[in-house]
């Protein structure tokens, strides 16, 4: 579904991605873990061309999205839903309008149909009755849920999650993970999660990839990944300060 | 010495590249105006923000500018026994220069800064990325309607500024200092020609463009850090003030 080939990205003199190769399987949840500031979000933003690489390609259903025009790219982007780290809700709109926004912009649905769809999504993420509130009036957890509702409202084939539990307490984080799993069961989308919330995120992942030093150091099914003897993976998963990964 | 020349060269190239990016940004904003879907609702919304919400500050500054002009004009003209020309002096200075420039300053401070801060905050909190990810072009959604609203609102605000300024000066000149009401308006009628009004309006349209263009650009390119929004806001206001004055000089010299 998504194939990343030899992806390189520099910011000034800083080399962030040094040749990423990654296959995201259709219908599965693939989680990318790695240290803070290691380039996970940068990699995620390349998957729907929010960032363009210096070298390499990103293929979505066989189309290299790094080399296509804006119109073709917009068609590809409509396959995606994105849950941003801070939810990125438009703060001039209520939660209801935020969720309805992609439908109003990109479909010809009537307002009654939109209302039905939005209320359904808000119910799925546990936000019944909160639609009239503005993003500034709700908690971080509610914002994430609203962001998730917006990401799912167009019924996308692929959903990208950028640190979905960052800034939430462990219980709320767990509830977001359960919600992602539940909604994945309903919609069957292809999911890519960027997270360092381990081991919790393993419970909802089909496959896990480890990004370290600008490359994918390890990738595999979750159970294989957890049992990996790769010293980088072992150090990161166990949270050890000594090992091949430099902590400070 | 060589490193100094290299530094000057680098800075010049950076500045030129920055100007190029700003012009491309403006071209892109205009190009998106003509592409569907039309954003009439957003244009009206921004006319309210730029126009209606700036009305009180424009009224207040207009009336006091007029009052000061009335006062200063009277004392200057009295030295030449020419108090009867007060109406012409006030109207010409307001219509040609002070109206467009001062109302543009007010709108920059009142709305332009807010525009830069709002877009900057949207950039920092990934709301602009969110629009891209929903296949919605943020320049079409956020920038083009603001620029069109600026082009429409600014001449209207300037016209209001001019009118309240003229009545502000009337209040002082006629009401307080004893200039004849008839000579105040008769002088104005005989000396103000359509070209004076038209040149002021043309200036205000161009100032509307400068304010919305600069403030949107600076907000749109705010650095994603805690100080990014503040820096974008400050830069946009300072650049607007400078550009308004520089452009005002060029327009005046061309249209005089």
d(CA B196, CA B183): 20
d(CA A5, CA A56): 6
3-class state of residue A5 by DSSP: strand
φ/ψ of residue A224, rounded to 5:
-70, -40
Best mutation site among B14, B36, B118, B130 for testing chain A: the one with the most A CBs within 10 Å? Answer: B130
Domain membership flag for residue B13:
no
Taking a contact as any Cβ pair under 8 Å apart, which residues of chain A between 40 and 79 contact chain B?
45, 48, 50, 70, 73-75, 77-78
Q: What is the pLDDT of residue A21?
A: 94
Domain positions in chain A are 1-79+192-248
Torsion of CA A107, A113, A117, A123, to 10 degrees: 160
pLDDT (tens digit per residue) in A5-59: 999 999 988 999 999 999 999 999 999 999 888 899 999 999 999 999 999 999 9
Are A50 and B132 a contacting pair at CB < 8 A? yes
pLDDT (tens digit per residue) in B68-112: 999 999 999 999 988 889 999 999 999 999 999 999 999 999 999
According to the CATH classification, is domain A1-79+192-248 in 3.40.50.300? yes
Domain membership flag for residue B205:
yes
Nearest to B126 among A48, A73, A84 (CB): A84
Domain membership flag for residue B21:
no
At A173, the pLDDT band (50, 70, 90 cuts) reads: confident
pLDDT (tens digit per residue) in A89-107: 999 999 999 999 999 999 9
Burial of B172 by CB count in 10 Å (0-12 exposed, 13-18 middle, 19+ buried)? Answer: buried
- Count structural domains, chain B: 1
User: Hey, is the C-beta of B133 within 8 angstroms of any chain A C-beta?
Assistant: yes
Pairing of strands A2-11, A80-83: unpaired
User: Hey, is the C-beta of A178 within 8 angstroms of any chain B C-beta?
Assistant: no
Are A50 and B129 a contacting pair at CB < 8 A? yes
**B126 neighbourhood in chain A, CB within 8 Å:** 84-86, 88
Domain membership flag for residue B31:
no
User: For residue A225, is pLDDT > 60?
Assistant: yes
Domain membership flag for residue B2:
no
- Residue B122: how many other CB atoms lie within 10 Å: 24
Residues sharing a CB contact under 8 Å with residue A169, sequence separation 6 or more, in sequence order: none
What predicted TM-score, i.e. pTM, was given to this entire model? 0.90
Domain membership flag for residue B100:
yes
Domain range enclosing B81 = 39-255
Q: What is the pLDDT of residue A247?
A: 64
Taking a contact as any Cβ pair under 8 Å apart, which residues of chain A between 102 and 131 contact chain B?
102, 105-106
Closest alpha carbon within chain A to B129: A50
């Amino acid at each position: 579904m998504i194939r990343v080939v030899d992806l390189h990205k520099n910011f000034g003199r800083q080399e962030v991605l040094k040749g990423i190769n990654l296959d995201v399987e259709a219908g599965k949840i693939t989680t990318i873990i790695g240290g803070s500031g290691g380039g996970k979000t940068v990699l995620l933003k390349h998957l729907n061309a929010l960032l363009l690489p210096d070298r390499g390609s990103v293929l979505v259903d066989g189309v290299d999205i790094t080399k296509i025009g804006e119109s073709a790219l917009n068609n590809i982007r409509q396959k995606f839903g994105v849950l941003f780290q801070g939810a990125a809700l438009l703060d001039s709109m209520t939660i209801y309008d935020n969720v309805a926004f992609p439908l109003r912009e990109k479909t010809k649905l009537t307002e009654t149909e939109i209302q039905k769809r939005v209320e359904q999504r808000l119910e799925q993420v546990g936000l019944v009755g909160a639609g009239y509130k503005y993003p500034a009036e709700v908690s971080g957890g509610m914002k994430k849920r609203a962001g998730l509702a917006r990401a799912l409202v167009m019924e996308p084939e692929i959903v990208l999650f950028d640190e979905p539990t960052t800034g939430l307490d462990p219980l709320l984080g767990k509830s977001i993970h359960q919600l992602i799993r539940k909604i994945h069961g309903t919609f069957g989308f292809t999911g890519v999660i960027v997270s360092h919330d381990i081991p919790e995120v393993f419970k909802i992942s089909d496959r896990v990839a480890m990004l370290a030093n600008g490359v994918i150091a390890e990738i595999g099914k979750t159970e294989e990944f957890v049992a990996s003897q790769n010293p980088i993976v072992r150090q990161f998963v166990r949270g050890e300060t000594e090992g091949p990964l430099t902590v400070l | 010495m060589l490193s100094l020349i290299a530094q000057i060269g680098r800075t010049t190239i950076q500045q030129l590249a920055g100007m190029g990016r700003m012009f491309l940004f403006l071209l892109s904003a205009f190009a998106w105006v003509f592409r569907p879907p039309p954003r009439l609702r957003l244009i009206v919304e921004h006319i309210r923000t730029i126009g209606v919400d700036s009305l009180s500050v424009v009224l207040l500054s207009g009336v006091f500018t007029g009052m000061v002009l009335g006062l200063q004009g009277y004392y200057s003209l009295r030295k030449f026994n020419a108090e009867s020309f007060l109406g012409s002096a006030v109207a010409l200075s307001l219509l040609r220069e002070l109206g467009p420039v001062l109302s543009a300053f007010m709108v920059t401070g009142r709305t332009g800064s807010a525009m830069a801060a709002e877009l900057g905050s949207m950039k920092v909190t990934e709301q602009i990325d969110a629009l891209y990810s929903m296949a919605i072009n943020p320049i079409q959604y956020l920038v083009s309607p603001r620029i069109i609203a600026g082009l429409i609102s600014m001449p209207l605000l300037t016209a209001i500024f001019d009118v309240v300024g003229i009545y502000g000066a009337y209040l002082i000149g006629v009401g307080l200092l004893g200039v004849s009401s008839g000579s105040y308006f008769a002088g104005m009628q005989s000396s103000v020609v359509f070209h004076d009004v038209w040149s002021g309006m043309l200036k205000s349209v161009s100032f509307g463009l400068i304010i919305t263009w600069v403030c949107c650009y600076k907000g749109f390119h705010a650095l994603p850090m805690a100080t990014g929004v503040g820096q974008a806001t400050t830069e946009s206001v300072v650049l607007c003030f400078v550009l308004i004055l520089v452009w005002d000089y060029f327009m005046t010299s061309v249209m005089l």
